[in-house]
Structure 1
Amino acid sequence: MIGKWGGGVLAAGLLATSLAAAPAAAQDVQAKQFKVVGSWGNLTNYNNVEKPFWNKTIVDASGGKITANITPLTELGLKGFEVLRLIKLGVFDFAYGVIGYVAEDPVFEGVDLSIMAQDIDTMRKLTEVYRPVLDRAFQQKFGAKLMAMLSYPSQMIFCKPPVNSLADLKGKKLRVYSTTLSDFADAVGATGVTVAFPEVVPALEKGVVDCGITGTMPAYDAKWYEVVTTVYPLRLGWGAAFFAGNLNVWNKMDAPTRAFLEKQFAAHEDAFWKNTAADDRDGIACNTGTAPCPKGPPGKMQLVQPTAGDIELRQRIMREFIIKRWAKRCGAACVADWNATIGKAIGETASVN
């Protein structure tokens, strides 16, 4: 048993040890200044998580040795489809991006197939089990190292004309941002139109699209409520995202610096998911005014609850349409990786036949 004073001495000793270890860890870090592409500057993920991480958190943790210039896509005039090519070229050291914007290989789609994940815990689990597959693809296709798997809030359907069911989407032009969402559009008789996120509101205003799929809070942040009348909260999955770095830049760092960054990036990943969970909870309230919006004045979209028939139809579309189409695009080796990871986690088996 530790005596009254012994416990205090031991605690003090442990505290002193931990305090001594922290500067030593920072002392071992190489001095680096990174060029970073953030996500969209009007989203809470950028303002609450990405920007503070690079401007303060990692600077403080490294004793000022790690600094960065982070700029959101919106300020760079980028649409988001280009970030991995820019990483490969060495224009930027690190970048945030949306998995659905990576069209070069169907293997990337595997983590975010339409409808597959219906809650955030499942979504995170799927990103974790599929992460080795994605990291290998990032390295082979783009010379990039996958640092963190992230997600935007759950994806729902927002329409300028009133809609009351999936049947009402037939013949409509539906904004999508990935091949798997285009597959969903085909399944319900809509026409999928790929539109970059910053261009959706003008596209809705001009009639280029009638409806759009996006996350709950991103729709509010981008002011979709100014043109959209209806939100149909039939969850079509989540918005899988990534944080990646140039592989050559990463490999040139020494082991202590990489270890330090990996620890910081893991905490950063947790913060991103926590922010996404909060955004998902608040997003519907902010778009519709059905509950208080913590971010500001709410929109006035009509909230139309999904029918039981549409909920059942959604699952049939996933099994009979989404997974089958993707498997044919991806091929046998890709499908085998998916079945051993995500398929096993959700109890589904994909087949190229």
Structure 2
Amino acid sequence: MNILNSPVRFWCLLICLLIILLPGGRQAIASDTIIIKAVGTWEYFTNYQKHEGPFWNERIEQVTEGAIVGEIRPHTTLDLQGFEIMRLVKNGVFDFAFGMSGYVVPESEIFEGADLSSLVQNISVQRQVAEAYFPTLERAFAEKYNAKLMLLYPFPSQMIWCKTPINQMSDLRGKRIRVYLTTLGDFVEGIGAIPVSVPFRDVPDVLSSGIVDCVITGTMSAYTTRLPQVTPYGFTLRVGWGVSFGAMNMNKWNLLSESQKQLLLQEIETLTENMWTETATEDDIALACLADGPCTLGKNGGMTLVKPSAEDLKIRDKVAMEVILPRWAERCGPECAANWNRTVGKVLGLKAEMQPGPVIRAD
């Protein structure tokens, strides 16, 4: 019998086709498919465009042959500030989140430990720091958020961009400088400047209105937001790395089979490697584009960039030992500081103490 001559069969076939074609139809048929609802960082930065977004929107479905399907959107398009994302992961609103470590510092100062201001100038050393501190943060994410820490990765290094010439660190004294983390505020106060906490999206406004004289932000974000037009002078001391995380709701993680867990961990390992490599490359590209090129991204920024001198680095060491580390040790507590000393401190040849001690850097 021709199916079109059977109304019942015709309507059954039509309904089946609609289920397949309509959004969510795949999930309706593959009832055992695991959907991962994820939130990412900024949609206009490379980390989301090249890594976070494609990883969940494309890669995971491909490698699991549809057994796991990811759906991710950046927190900026969701009208989120970022500080709330791990609480939303804890409550199951999202299954996975990428975010900056600074977003979770309000829950515990322990989260600052992988990116204390100005301590690390080299990205390979910063990676050693992240790896040394990973087990500490892994425990903290589990305890505070019922989440499994999956990866740590950096944004391009954070530097200082100003409206007036900066030839040495002492030129920053008395200036109002945009910060977004407590540890950055410690650095700014340590050099005799004034920290002003400002969200990234408000940076152009506070510069144009004169609320701040300088801003701390990443090299690539400085270029993509056209900072050279309003801050034509850069001081290339690395005051942070924007170390960020990827973490998964533990209940969701436990729904995966052992083979799925292993596959996801392998993919995360590759993702992590790609992100560190990309950031190292982006730093060089962004600095070239901010100054006189050659720039592969577009027009040169024409910014005047000044490298910190040996004397500037001595001041940095003094501020680290007398301000940044003691203040953080005070906030985090003796046990937290002792753990840092055994992990990150061993990598850097530094010691976090509540009272300042002698400079014992190993670099």
* TM-score calculated relative to the size of structure 2: 0.85
In structure 2, the partner of 1:145 is 148
Q: Percent identity among equivalent residues?
A: 44
In structure 2, the partner of 1:125 is 128
Moved more, 184-193 or 100-109: 100-109
Q: Which letter does structure 2 place at the counterpart of 1:127?
A: A
> Which residues of 2 match residues 287-306 of structure 1 at below 5 A?
287-288=290-291, 290-306=292-308
> Which residues of 2 match residues 1-353 of structure 1 at below 5 A?
31-104=33-106, 105-288=108-291, 290-353=292-355
2:121–2:237 CA contact under 8 A, matched in 1 = no
Q: Which runs of 5+ in 1 are unaligned?
A: 1-29
What is the RMSD of the two structures over their aligned residues, measured on CA atoms? 1.5
Q: Which letter does structure 2 place at the counterpart of 1:123?
A: Q
1:49–1:275 CA contact under 8 A, matched in 2 = no
1:324–1:351 CA contact under 8 A, matched in 2 = yes
C-alpha change, 1:323 and 1:239, in structure 2 (3 Å) is same
2:325–2:354 CA contact under 8 A, matched in 1 = no
Take 2:224 and 2:193, find their aligned partners in 1: how far apart are those partners?
Answer: 26
1:79–1:197 CA contact under 8 A, matched in 2 = no
Take 2:224 and 2:35, find their aligned partners in 1: how far apart are those partners?
Answer: 30
Take 1:41 and 1:206, find their aligned partners in 2: how far apart are those partners?
Answer: 26
Take 1:286 and 1:82, find their aligned partners in 2: how far apart are those partners?
Answer: 34
| 1:286 CA drift (Å) | 1.3
1:101–1:177 CA contact under 8 A, matched in 2 = no
Q: Which letter does structure 2 place at the counterpart of 1:343?
A: G
2:53–2:72 CA contact under 8 A, matched in 1 = yes
Take 1:145 and 1:160, find their aligned partners in 2: how far apart are those partners?
Answer: 42
| 1:166 CA drift (Å) | 1.9
Q: Deviations over 1:12-47 (max 9, x none)?
A: xxxxxxxxxxxxxxxxxx622211111101111111
Q: Which letter does structure 2 place at the counterpart of 1:333?
A: E
How many residues are treated as equivalent by the alignment? 323
In structure 2, the partner of 1:22 is none
| 1:292 CA drift (Å) | 1.3
Take 2:120 and 2:306, find their aligned partners in 1: how far apart are those partners?
Answer: 21
Take 1:348 and 1:306, find their aligned partners in 2: how far apart are those partners?
Answer: 21
Higher CA-based Rg: 2
Take 2:231 and 2:316, find their aligned partners in 1: how far apart are those partners?
Answer: 23
Take 2:341 and 2:307, find their aligned partners in 1: how far apart are those partners?
Answer: 33
Moved more, 108-117 or 247-256: 247-256
2:40–2:73 CA contact under 8 A, matched in 1 = yes
Q: Deviations over 1:175-212 (max 9, x none)?
A: 11111101001111211112222221222122222211
* TM-score calculated relative to the size of structure 1: 0.87
| 1:294 CA drift (Å) | 1.6
2:86–2:97 CA contact under 8 A, matched in 1 = yes
Take 2:289 and 2:86, find their aligned partners in 1: how far apart are those partners?
Answer: 32
1:42–1:222 CA contact under 8 A, matched in 2 = no
Take 2:297 and 2:68, find their aligned partners in 1: how far apart are those partners?
Answer: 32
| 1:66 CA drift (Å) | 2.1
Take 1:268 and 1:31, find their aligned partners in 2: how far apart are those partners?
Answer: 22
Secondary structure in 2 aligned to 1:102?
Answer: helix
Moved more, 51-60 or 135-144: 51-60
Take 2:163 and 2:88, find their aligned partners in 1: how far apart are those partners?
Answer: 35
Q: Deviations over 1:85-119 (max 9, x none)?
A: 22122111111111123222111111111112111
Take 2:296 and 2:279, find their aligned partners in 1: how far apart are those partners?
Answer: 14
Query: Which structure exhibits the higher relative contact order, with contacts defined as CA atoms closer than 8 Å and separated by 6 or more residues?
Result: 1
Q: Which runs of 5+ in 2 are unaligned?
A: 1-31, 356-363
Take 1:89 and 1:244, find their aligned partners in 2: how far apart are those partners?
Answer: 13
Take 2:47 and 2:144, find their aligned partners in 1: how far apart are those partners?
Answer: 27
